[in-house]
Chain A
């Protein structure tokens, strides 16, 4: 009896020493942990989150109507009571306009890159995975877009389609699809030739399953990093389009457009005129730094 109980006790002890079912951290959990330790990235992420909340809640947070100007209070300097960030050339409250302007600017910075990320990754993965003539058709078509500088291309497409918010989004999306497709294609080509894809193919899996299970998981990460680094470029291009009058139309507040209209007042009220540019600068810098941090967090050495 004692013998039996001692063996069970020993077995229990052995059980206890064996590591409990080890659930190892997944890849993305590890990336998140590494990113959280990166102070610069977290600071940028916080700032961006704040900017997005500000833009989202602008109708409730803004002290004034962004479209309502008071002609007697045109170009008030920063620090004017009631208009802490001054007023623009039509006497509209700058703080309210910057808050509302963030909505358009952020949407115009993020939406084209997001659409281009989806479409470009799709094209690149298909081209890279199947190779052959399909690859040639897709990649040579994107090469045509590379013949033009990004700014020129955005202006040309926008100009051809006509001014307006939707057309600006379309033209910016078209500008960003080729570079994303090219990055996705090159990563897919290198992943496709790894043994684990062959091993999966050898089990009899079809092309769609191979892409979904084995290719996308290894391609999306790096392409995502690349896409986040394009957000700042896109914001600046969007601001440029609005500046040229090809983006959003005047009464609507948008940072690029505000920069354009305040340009004439730069000698009268330089600090107020510079504010929309400062917002663009801070936002795109944050996106760039965050993308950099994400890149190093995802670069896990083995």
Chain B
């Protein structure tokens, strides 16, 4: 029915929204809402890696949990190969969704049950999907070997007997155990040492080739995202402000926020190091986000129109899209500039 065409995206996310209640009145009605994720849409093609970056609290992790339906989205559609998933769609929509998509969490220790052996943790998922216990255990051994841990040594161990890097390898094996097509890596290497981080990143690249995976790589580490991603999506206060192919986005960022974010990466050469923060202040409160463009209070180019109208996410050049009045000729911004005028 839904024959996948080569150009059709594997994962389509449309207008994902989640508002959390903050504080309740006497009758239990929410007094305010935290607008954690406000209309996030994106496509990911098969075999690609989409990097999602942004400051803490910008809604990266919430987006991941919404995709897995660990948190129920208020609005939005998720399609895999054109097929809609989520509550209210089909008979077992969530179980099916979860067979397609798996997630690796940041905290390698908290994401393994301390009372289960490594074997039991990895074999749990397949058994849920109807694999016999023996076959699931054999699969656990295979996967453990595949992620670079000797099955004979590790299979009977408990999580607290492993190092952080080893545990994260186990978590990757656990995520792969039910043969997903898409793996969400939510800050999966952020808590690891740099050297271990490099090993795990290489492992992820190998596994991607071997199992034909598609990654959603969520991180606040811009260098790592540049290294692993094909496309990058920048989020600010629950919204996408810019996205595009990694090389273009890193060499010529469109949105002032992306620009500030990339400039905040410490320079490798001492002479180029800055003494002042590029971006002043903290992100505004997501309970009462600024009107118009959410970035305007911190933006060096802000004009009155930025405080009044919400900029739409529009294509600027090639596959690069950005939500900024300054780049959109009909926006009412007085000093609109073209892509060519932007400094590299």
Contacts and interface: CB of A to CB of B under 8 A. Distances in A.
Interface of A: 18-19, 21-24, 26-27, 194-196, 198-205, 209, 213-214, 217-218, 302
Given A200-B124, A203-B125, A22 B153 contact: yes
B178 A214 contact: no
Given A199-B103, A202-B68, A203-B102, A24 B112 contact: no
Interface in B80-127: 94-95, 98-99, 102-103, 105, 107, 110-117, 121, 124-125
B160 interface: yes
A201 B101 CA distance: 12
Contact of A24 (B68, B115, B158): B158
B328 interface: no
A196 B113 contact: yes
Nearest to A136: B28
A282 B275 CA distance: 71
Contacts of B267: none
A196 B105 CA distance: 9
A196 B94 contact: no
17 contacts: A21-B152, A21-B153, A24-B158, A27-B158, A195-B110, A199-B111, A199-B112, A201-B70, A202-B98, A202-B102, A203-B98, A203-B129, A203-B177, A214-B113, A217-B113, A217-B116, A218-B113
Given A196-B113, A201-B70, A203-B128, 12 more contacts: A19-B153, A194-B111, A196-B121, A198-B65, A198-B70, A199-B103, A200-B124, A200-B125, A203-B124, A204-B95, A204-B129, A213-B113
Nearest to B68: A202
B161 interface: yes
Given A194-B110, A203-B178, A205-B124, A27 B115 contact: yes
Contacts of A205: 124, 128
A21 B156 contact: yes
A204 B107 contact: no
Given A23-B156, A196-B110, A198-B70, A204 B99 contact: yes
Contacts of A198: 65, 70, 105, 111
Given A27-B115, A203-B98, A22 B156 contact: yes
Nearest to B150: A18
A51 to B, nearest CB: 32
A24 B157 contact: yes
A193 to B, nearest CB: 9
A91 to B, nearest CB: 56
B169 interface: no
A218 B114 contact: yes
A218 B115 contact: yes
B87 to A, nearest CB: 14
B296 interface: no
Contact of B105 (A18, A23, A199): A199
Contacts of A217: 113, 115-116
Contact of B160 (A199, A214, A302): A302
B114 A213 contact: no
Given A195-B110, A196-B110, A202 B70 contact: yes
A202 B113 contact: no
Interface string B324-342: 0000000000000000000
A145 B175 CA distance: 45
Contacts of A23: 156
A16 to B, nearest CB: 13
A286 B192 CA distance: 47
B18 interface: no
A217 B113 CA distance: 9
Given A21-B156, A204-B129, A205-B124, A199 B114 contact: no
B137 interface: no
B175 to A, nearest CB: 8
B174 interface: yes
B111 A196 contact: yes
B171 interface: yes
Contacts of A22: 152-153, 156-157
